[in-house]
Amino acid sequence: MTTSRRRFLKGAALAAPASLAAPAIVHAQSPIRWRFQTYAGGALGEHVTKPAIDYINANANGELEIELFYADQIVPTGELFQALQRGTIDGVHSDDDSMASPTPLRVFGGYFPFATKHILDVPVLFNQYGLADIWREEYAKVGVQWLSAAGQDPCNFNTKKEITSVADLDGLKLYTFPTAGRFLAQFGVVPVNIPYEDAEVAVQTGELDGMAWSGITEDYTVGWADVTDYFLTNNISGAWIGSWFANQERWAELPEHLKSVVMAGVEAGHTYRNQWYWGGEAALRANGEKLALRSVPAAEWAEVENAAKVFWDEIAQEGEVHQKIVNIFREYNGVINQAGVPYNFE
């Protein structure tokens, strides 16, 4: 019995260090930290970007922590792509146009004139008509990981001046997207490029006459409905096209389960925006008290729509990728126009 007891104690002593060392193995590693900037200012970013970031941070189990920055807080919006490419920031939510994408896709981000009728057209175009493959391939060529795209609000006009005809656009100084401004210039619009957060004050000082930047939901959310008087129900595009991007190296470093969490968060954000915008546009047109609704007769607005067809032709001549994307827009618009209400809103 004595010999057996000694052998037991000796075995226990040898086992003890391994038992004591075990807790060190399960100590959590330091989290991966990302800096992420959105094109949107703080008030808008709460709805268009923050829900996705909150989802990721809540579900990454402490392994990934993303710090969110709003418009121009780290770099100006027009420098977002360069900052992402060189790793100054790790992730971006923006449209290709605003962030000065050095790809053929730039003109199609934001508001490409009359490419869409409403918010759900965007995921359909990307997931069913091949735009996702084009975006993924083009950004891989320039060292950026494209993650996902989604629609948002239409591009209407909120202005100090009443607009009831196409002629009323002439001379208006408007804050708008680069490609939208290029298109609208033929109607006398003067596009003005200033930092996002300065737009409201610019209307008050007279530097701007208004915005062709959003639907009515954003006008109320960010304060633009407080400094303009009219909302034009006609739009030049039914939905904003924007994407989520990551620095290619930082994305490659993420383990697969964290990539899944990021993508789930992005998709959850898309779902939130779909209902927030769709419901907001209806409710504020029906019940909003700050902006008076105005419309240009459909027969007259057809002048603007027809100009978009010419614009598409011009863009298609700029390159093979441009032609491919314009052809996809044409194919899709052909389908929804044949489908009728509610797809073509007529």
For residue 5, pLDDT beyond 50: no
Residue 281's domain comprises 32-152+239-286
With a CB cutoff of 8 Å and minimum separation 6, the contacts of 104 are: 138, 318, 319, 321, 322, 325
pLDDT band at 345 (very low <50, low <70, confident <90, very high): low
Task: Tally the domains of the chain.
Answer: 2
Mark 218-246 as b/e (b = at least 16 C-beta within 10 Å).
bbbbbebbebbebbbebbbbbbbbbbbbb
For residue 7, pLDDT beyond 70: no
231 found inside a domain: yes
Note the pLDDT tens digit of each residue in 246-291.
999 999 999 999 999 999 999 999 999 999 999 999 999 999 999 9
For residue 10, pLDDT beyond 60: no
207 found inside a domain: yes
The per-residue pLDDT for 239 is 97
How far apart (Å, rounded) are the C-alpha atoms in residues 30 and 85? 24
Are 69 and 129 in a shared domain? yes
The per-residue pLDDT for 50 is 98
For residue 6, pLDDT beyond 50: no
223 found inside a domain: yes
SS3 label, residue 151: strand
Of 283 and 26, the structure prediction assigns the larger pLDDT to 283
The per-residue pLDDT for 13 is 41
Note the pLDDT tens digit of each residue in 145-173.
999 999 999 999 999 999 999 999 999 99
Tokens 């209902």 sit on residue: 275
The per-residue pLDDT for 29 is 77
For residue 15, pLDDT beyond 60: no
Are 129 and 36 in a shared domain? yes
Check if the beta carbon of residue 68 is closer than 8 Å to that of residue 49.
Answer: yes
For residue 3, pLDDT beyond 60: no
Are 189 and 302 in a shared domain? yes
How far apart (Å, rounded) are the C-alpha atoms in residues 250 and 130? 26
Are 251 and 307 in a shared domain? no
The per-residue pLDDT for 344 is 82
**301-311: average pLDDT:** 97
In the predicted model, what is the mean pLDDT of the chain? 92
Residue 205 in tokens: 């000082």
Are 176 and 199 in a shared domain? yes
The per-residue pLDDT for 28 is 54
Are 233 and 254 in a shared domain? no
The per-residue pLDDT for 23 is 43
15 found inside a domain: no
Are 99 and 227 in a shared domain? no
Are 305 and 325 in a shared domain? yes
What's the CATH number where 114 sits? 3.40.190.170
Are 94 and 218 in a shared domain? no
Taking phi over 0 as left and psi of -120 to 50 as alpha, with beta for the rest, 161 belongs to: beta
4 found inside a domain: no
For residue 11, pLDDT beyond 90: no
pLDDT band at 4 (very low <50, low <70, confident <90, very high): very low
Are 295 and 200 in a shared domain? yes
Are 98 and 190 in a shared domain? no
Are 54 and 137 in a shared domain? yes
pLDDT band at 346 (very low <50, low <70, confident <90, very high): low
5 found inside a domain: no
Window from 29-33, 54-58, 223-227, 315-319 with minimum mean pLDDT: 29-33
47 found inside a domain: yes
17 found inside a domain: no
With a CB cutoff of 8 Å and minimum separation 6, the contacts of 88 are: 35, 74, 75
Burial level of 300, CB count in 10 A (0-12/13-18/19+)?
Answer: middle
